[in-house]
């Protein structure tokens, strides 16, 4: 015979009189067991933690090979067993009862390849009740060349920002127009600013969405500039961020400014001016002009740029 259903008043009375189940704290939810850890190239030099306990086995498992003899366990005498399998990327630790609780020991591993990060360090924190059985370390390697290239690009970006800031401050301290040119020493005697059209002599790389339909170059005392009349033939806005002028010997002129740094809508024209420092001898060279899109992969490449 089935048990009778409880009436609503009786059910409510029972629920209200039943003691509530205690909810575990966030720390109690963090039980010992397996944990995943990601290690990136930018994390080089950082120290990660791993909880260990006397008489409890803890394992570090890497997704890459370890360098032969490249695992260093501090205070090895405080471990009953330390096993290292470099080929499998596994380090197994069994602490003894003498492992210090007031001074965390460390484990440092070196990886077999030359990618970054090349090593990793772990601080061993003693916690008998919450020792971790296994920590899986997923290393996201990056070649040293790639890392150096990004660092170089960041330095170049910082140099560009500094150059733009210097120019802005200088412009605020000098008058406009011809007076300003004379004041900053760009009008050399009777020469002044020389100009020439270079539309017919330059060659643009095919397929670029920002098309150059007219170009002029300028030369004053220790300065050169390229004026480009461009049109955006693509379907997305185009914003120029920076430029390079590279001579036949591979040397780059120091860019002073790229103006204006504003979006060029699809189907719209814009006049761009790139200014650089150049000695009289440097200005006689033939250059490649390259412009980069801000926050994007697109570029403009012009060959055969000369100055009057």
pTM confidence score: 0.46
Interval 139-156 mean pLDDT: 66
Same domain, 227 and 127: no
Q: Is the pLDDT of residue 3 over 70?
A: no
What local confidence, expressed as pLDDT, does residue 15 receive?
Answer: 39
pLDDT digit string, tens, across residues 20-40:
333 333 333 344 568 888 888
Same domain, 100 and 244: no
Q: How far is CA 87 from CA 15, 62, 113, in A?
A: 59, 10, 12
Per the structure, the complete domain to which residue 293 belongs is given by: 152-305
Same domain, 272 and 163: yes
Same domain, 83 and 205: no
Question: Which residue shows structure tokens 């069994």?
Answer: 94
* The pair of three-digit structure tokens given for residue 27, joined into one six-digit string: 């720390």
Same domain, 255 and 166: yes
Nearest to residue 192, comparing CAs of 163, 225, 220? 220
What local confidence, expressed as pLDDT, does residue 296 receive?
Answer: 74
DSSP string, the chain: -PPPPPPHHHHHHHHHHSPPPPPPPHHHHS-SSEEEEEEEGGGTT-EEEEEE-TT--EEEEESSPEEEEEEEETTGGGEEEEEEETTTTEEEEEE-TT--SSS-EEEEEEESSSSBP-EEEEEEEE-GGG--SEEEEEEE-B-HHHHHHHHHHHHHHHHHHHHHHHHHHHHHHS-SHHHHHHHTT---TT---EEEE-TTT-EEPTT-SEEEEEEEEEEETTEEEEEEEEEE-SSS-B-EEEEEEE-TTSPBPEEEEEE--S-B-TT-EEEEEEEEE--TTGGGS-EEEEEEETTSS-EEEEEEE---
Same domain, 116 and 166: no
What local confidence, expressed as pLDDT, does residue 63 receive?
Answer: 93
Say how many residues make up the chain.
Answer: 308
pLDDT digit string, tens, across residues 82-100:
999 999 999 999 999 999 9
Q: Is the pLDDT of residue 198 over 90?
A: yes
Q: Are 193 and 186 in contact (CB under 8 A)?
A: yes
Q: Which of 33-47, 180-194, 197-211 comes out lowest in average pLDDT? A: 180-194
What local confidence, expressed as pLDDT, does residue 27 receive?
Answer: 37
Interval 134-143 mean pLDDT: 85
Task: Report yes or no on 25 lying in a domain.
Answer: no
Q: Is the pLDDT of residue 106 over 80?
A: yes
Q: Which of 27-31, 205-209, 279-283 comes out lowest in average pLDDT? A: 27-31
The rounded distance, in Å, linking the Cα atoms of 134 and 138 is 13
Which residues does residue 126 pair with via DSSP β-bridges, in sequence order? 52
Q: Is the pLDDT of residue 164 over 70?
A: no
What local confidence, expressed as pLDDT, does residue 127 receive?
Answer: 87
Same domain, 249 and 181: yes
Q: Is the pLDDT of residue 218 over 90?
A: yes
41 pLDDT band (50/70/90 cuts)? Answer: confident
Task: Report yes or no on 191 lying in a domain.
Answer: yes
The rounded distance, in Å, linking the Cα atoms of 306 and 216 is 9
Q: Which residue has the higher pLDDT, 82 or 221?
A: 82
What local confidence, expressed as pLDDT, does residue 148 receive?
Answer: 61
Same domain, 39 and 61: yes
Q: How far is CA 96 from CA 56, 81, 89, in A?
A: 9, 8, 23
Same domain, 183 and 242: yes
- Domain count of the chain? 2
Task: Report yes or no on 1 lying in a domain.
Answer: no
CATH code assigned at 175: 2.60.40.10
Domain final residue, candidates 80, 115, 144: 144
Which strands, in side-by-side order, build the sheet including 194-197?
194-197, 210-220, 223-232, 269-277, 254-259
Q: Which residue has the higher pLDDT, 69 or 179?
A: 69
């Amino acid at each position: 015979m089935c048990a009778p259903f409880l009436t609503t008043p009786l059910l409510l009375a029972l629920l209200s009189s039943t003691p509530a189940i205690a909810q575990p704290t966030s720390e109690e939810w963090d039980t010992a067991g397996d944990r995943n850890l990601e290690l990136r190239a930018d994390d080089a030099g950082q120290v990660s933690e791993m909880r260990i306990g006397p008489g409890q086995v803890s394992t570090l498992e890497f997704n890459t090979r370890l360098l032969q003899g490249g695992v260093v366990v501090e205070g090895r005498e405080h471990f009953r067993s330390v096993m290292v399998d470099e080929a499998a990327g596994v380090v197994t630790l069994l602490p003894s009862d003498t492992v210090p609780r007031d001074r965390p020991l460390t484990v440092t591993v070196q990886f077999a390849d030359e990618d970054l990060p090349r090593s990793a360090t772990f601080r061993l924190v003693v916690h008998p009740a919450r020792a971790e059985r296994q920590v899986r370390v997923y290393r996201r390697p990056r070649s040293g060349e790639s890392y150096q290239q990004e660092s170089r690009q960041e330095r170049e970006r910082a140099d560009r920002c500094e150059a733009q800031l210097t120019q802005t401050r200088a412009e605020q301290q000098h008058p406009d127009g011809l007076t300003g040119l004379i004041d900053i020493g760009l009008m050399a005697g009777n020469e002044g600013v020389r100009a020439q059209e270079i539309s017919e002599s330059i060659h643009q790389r095919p397929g670029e969405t920002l098309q150059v339909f007219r170009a002029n170059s300028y030369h004053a005392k220790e300065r050169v500039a390229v004026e480009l009349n461009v049109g955006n033939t693509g379907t997305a806005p185009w914003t120029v961020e920076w430029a390079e002028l590279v001579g036949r010997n591979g040397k780059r002129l120091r860019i002073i400014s790229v103006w204006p740094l504003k979006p060029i809508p699809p189907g719209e024209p814009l006049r761009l001016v790139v200014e650089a420092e150049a000695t009289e001898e440097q200005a006689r060279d033939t250059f490649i002009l390259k412009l980069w899109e801000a926050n994007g992969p697109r570029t403009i490449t012009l060959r055969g740029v000369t100055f009057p």
